[in-house]
Amino acid sequence: MRLNKYISETGVCSRREADKWIEAGRVTCNGQSAALGTQVAEGDEVRIDGALIGVKKKPIYIALNKPVGIICTTETHIKDNIIEHVGYKERIFPVGRLDRDSEGLILLTNNGDIVNEILRSENNHEKEYVVSVDRPITDLSLSMMASGVKIMGERTKPAKVIRIDSQTFRIILTQGLNRQIRRMCSALGYKARRLQRVRIMNIQLGKLPAGQWRHLTAPELESLVAANSRG
């Protein structure tokens, strides 16, 4: 098994983060400094910063209705971080992020493989949002959002866009550029007043109260695992 996969399966971090730690010289295997691509066999001793990491932990999958003001970081010294907000007894980390001013569904887990699978843009996993803007939005603007808007030097992928009322719409994305929806609105002359994510793939926010979390259901988990096996 590759070292980054072994580390992620113990729940310490994602594969991507493990690669960074390996490159930084923080990881050893059987007392020797590890390299990217190092293979780990049963009985090998892997340490991070000198601390022995254990066997694969039971996967944890949580859905949180993130309130406005909570920051999607694992850095617990940062005020209003998502880890302390959830207060889970074992180490978990968020899958992707919602910016501080946004709210709604975000997943947290100790499974780095799932993290990589959901975030990998080429997999085209759907994420659905409800957005309210500062003034009535035209049908032309909604059509432009659906076909793609140029932001940060590139055109966004086509999206599904449905009007809810004069200043609110539903948008389904298959990519996740930094502050993408807010930038799309801004490019068309609007300001996003409220941005709520209501779905990730098959996982719905539903009636989960703001600030509360729940474990994923068996059907939700089966779909995630199936998607991961295809990735």
Q: Measured between alpha carbons, how far is 92 from 95 in angstroms, rounded to an integer?
A: 10
- Dihedral of alpha carbons 5, 7, 10, 11, sign: negative
What's residue 54's pLDDT?
73
Quick: pLDDT tens for 53-89.
876 668 899 999 999 999 999 999 999 999 999 999 9
- Dihedral of alpha carbons 202, 14, 54, 107, sign: negative
What's residue 225's pLDDT?
74
What's residue 53's pLDDT?
87
**pTM for the model:** 0.77
Quick: pLDDT tens for 182-220.
999 999 999 999 999 999 999 999 999 999 999 999 999
Quick: pLDDT tens for 79-100.
999 999 999 998 899 988 899 9
Q: Measured between alpha carbons, how far is 137 from 131 in angstroms, rounded to an integer?
A: 11
Whether 177 has a pLDDT exceeding 80, the answer reads yes
Which residues, listed in sequence order, are joined to residue 132 by a DSSP beta bridge? 168, 194
pLDDT level of residue 120 (50, 70, 90 thresholds):
low
DSSP type of residue 2: B
Please, what is the end-to-end C-alpha distance for the chain in angstroms?
Answer: 17
Output the average pLDDT for the chain: 91
SS3 content of the chain, % helix, strand, coil (to 5): 25, 30, 45
pLDDT level of residue 143 (50, 70, 90 thresholds):
very high
Percent of the chain with pLDDT over 70: 94
Which comes out higher in pLDDT, residue 49 or 176?
Answer: 49
Q: What is the largest CA-CA distance in the chain?
A: 63
The CATH superfamily of 126-200 is Alpha-L RNA-binding motif (3.30.70.1560)
Quick: pLDDT tens for 5-27.
889 888 788 888 999 999 999 99
Residue extents of the structural domains in the chain: 3-52, 61-121+203-230, 126-200
Determine the residue type at 212.
Answer: Q
3-class secondary-structure state, position 182 = helix
What's residue 70's pLDDT?
98
What's residue 228's pLDDT?
63
Place of tokens 């603007």: 141
Domain pair 3-52 / 126-200, same fold: no
Angle made by CA atoms 4, 8, 14, in degrees to the nearest 5: 90
CATH number for the region 61-121+203-230 comes to 3.30.70.580
Whether 144 has a pLDDT exceeding 90, the answer reads yes
Give the number of C-alpha atoms closer than 13 A to the C-alpha of residue 142, restricted to the C-beta side.
21
**Cβ–Cβ < 8 Å for 185, 133:** yes
**Cβ–Cβ < 8 Å for 27, 40:** no
What's residue 229's pLDDT?
58
What's residue 124's pLDDT?
79
| H or E element at residue 170 | strand 168-173
Point out the residues that are catalytic.
99
Find out if CATH 3.10.290.10 is the number for domain 3-52.
Answer: yes
Q: Which of 199, 90, 73, 186 is nearest to 137 (CA)?
A: 186
Q: Which of 186, 133, 136 is nearest to 156 (CA)?
A: 186
What's residue 39's pLDDT?
92
Range 143-165 average pLDDT: 97
Q: Measured between alpha carbons, how far is 148 from 151 in angstroms, rounded to an integer?
A: 9
What's residue 125's pLDDT?
87
